[in-house]
């Protein structure tokens, strides 16, 4: 009896061992599959990011009533001057004077007025002399005529890196006539991806704010 019991237990043990191997073997397959299938999602996300970059190629600004599109003369041999215009047709506005990047928005005018540029980016941040940097990388590097004290008549916002996809709004405010300026023609130029999107003009009256243009990237 005792020997028979041991034999039975031995057989049962052997079966359990085989079953265990079998179960372990089956269990290992989904584990491997899980490990293999985990990485693709980040890869797909990466691809989506590239796709997103491709879709931001051509902003088409929507202009408010009264804003006209300029066809400023440019010459590859011209000297770039600080005027809010790409004088030398290289796709950068006032380079050497202000920062240029993947997205550049530049305001220029030619009276002593204190006029301010505001750019609202997709994060909702309003970049201006009051908040010169956005978490998205947008940066205002020139504040002109602050308190009517300096001679600059250009303000500039640019993104060195990739500007985020989404909605952008460009506002311009006639802050002060500085005692001498009247209605003032202003120019806003936009450069994206090394090419000029357009140059736009509007005549701004004292204390007026205008939403010059908006666009989506």
Q: Which positions lie near Ca ion, rule CB under 5 A? A: 80-81, 83, 85-88, 90, 92, 94
Distance in Å, CB of 49 to Ca ion, minimum: 30
CB-nearer residue toward Ca ion: 87 or 177: 87
List the one residue out of 162, 111, 165, 159 whose CA is nearest residue 138. 159
How far is C-alpha 100 from the chain's CA centre?
13
Distance in Å, CB of 75 to Ca ion, minimum: 11
As a whole number of angstroms, the distance between CA 134 and CA 211 comes to 19
CB-nearer residue toward Ca ion: 142 or 164: 142
CB-nearer residue toward Ca ion: 92 or 111: 92
Distance in Å, CB of 145 to Ca ion, minimum: 18
Inter-residue contact 144 to 94 (CB < 8 Å)? no
Distance in Å, CB of 34 to Ca ion, minimum: 54
As a whole number of angstroms, the distance between CA 168 and CA 125 comes to 10
DSSP string, 186-202: EEEEEEETTEEEEEEEE
CB-nearer residue toward Ca ion: 85 or 119: 85
């Amino acid at each position: 009896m005792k020997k028979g019991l041991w034999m039975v237990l031995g057989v049962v043990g052997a079966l359990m061992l085989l079953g265990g191997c079998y179960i372990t073997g089956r269990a290992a397959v989904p584990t491997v599959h899980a490990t293999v299938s985990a990485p693709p999602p980040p890869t797909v996300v990466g691809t989506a990011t590239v796709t997103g970059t491709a879709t931001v190629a051509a902003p088409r600004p929507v202009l408010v009533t009264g804003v006209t599109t300029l066809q400023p003369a440019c010459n590859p041999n011209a000297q770039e001057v600080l005027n809010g215009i790409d004088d030398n047709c290289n796709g950068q506005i006032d380079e050497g004077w202000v920062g240029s990047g993947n997205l550049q928005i530049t305001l220029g005018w030619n009276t002593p007025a204190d006029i301010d540029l505001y750019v609202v980016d997709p994060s909702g941040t309003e970049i201006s002399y009051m908040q010169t940097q956005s978490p998205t990388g947008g940066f205002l590097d020139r504040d002109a005529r602050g308190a009517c004290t300096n001679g600059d008549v250009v303000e500039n916002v640019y993104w060195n890196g990739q500007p985020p996809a989404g909605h952008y709004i460009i506002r311009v405010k006639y802050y002060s006539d500085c005692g001498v300026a009247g209605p003032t023609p202003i120019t806003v130029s936009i450069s994206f991806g090394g090419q000029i999107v357009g140059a736009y003009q509007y005549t701004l009256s004292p204390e007026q704010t205008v939403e010059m243009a908006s666009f989506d990237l």
